[in-house]
Structure 1
């Protein structure tokens, strides 16, 4: 039974001493997703008022990239700053987080995104609520399977970057990690926002969907990024990891 609890990570949430650290991590994940939806979806609302033929996709891309950069920089030491069920699923697939903790992360990520979108809606004039409040939707010329493909590769590139900068045998990448992750998010938005809205993040879309009441093709925004994230994590873990550093190098870093 003890081994079973250790594999699932039940021991991480059953000890009062450890739970204090877990609660801090859950709070960090909640806050990160709150800020992501509040500022990121806010930029989408602003874009809705651009000239009809000149939507400001760069504004949205850099806003999402910057808010992720800021949150990873501020909260990474507390929870690892997953901020995304696709990242959490990827880390779970290679054993970097236990199952129970991963489930708790995903729950609070969704709650944080929901709270961020709800707060955004509460602060906006009522006649702005019909903008969709930052909801991600498929382009009318893109079908659900194609949308899945785009979201798969969005989750893939994000988790590939996360895996690379968090590799313990690449200490030189640690300082640039938050910026690299933020730029990966900006890249994903610039490359695919006109196809799927470039979610990359199931929690981000879930929060928007609840508040906007739009659930069209919602599965795409869960299955796509999570599948891509798991594949990227497995490829990096089994084929691309940096060679193990000598113990002296690890101590120095």
Structure 2
């Protein structure tokens, strides 16, 4: 229905001798800075979940756990960041893409620096980072018009799988204060219960800030607008 309405409006404008308005070109921030910031954020989360999955990998799981975590993390991050930066997250990918004509030379250096910074942050960062990741994915695939996709339920589910596989033995990967509160109340077990409130709420706030300040489209961002 929406596409039919747009076509009718365009045809009406043409009948009146006027051209339909051209789409607004991306501003300098979305062309130069936002892709680099997206590479930093994406690489940070990829390195973080990868490090955690290897650290807590149990011998019985063999290579399966880190393989699943790395593979699913790449799938989710590539899907949600592709329209922003191209989802490289890896210096060799950036160099190869440039050599094959997939990006401009002026962006290669900033991409490489952004990926290395993201890797450093990812190695430094539990509950806050993992909740931030799943909340960021929800906002990118369901709220941000530039990256919305009908695959939202699948991508959010994959992100939860990544978080549980990567951080389950560290904090339990609750990601939801309501999920923690019900069982704690019924069993009267409140040890470290505050972690499941401070972590997820903090992660959600960080994710919202990432979208409103850095990764969101021109409509969602509150800074650097066209």
- Superposition TM-score tier, normalisation by shorter sequence: 0.3 to 0.5
Higher relative contact order (CA 8 A, sep 6+): 1
Is the radius of gyration larger for structure 1 or structure 2?
A: 2
TM-score, normalised on structure 1?
0.38
TM-score, normalised on structure 2?
0.43
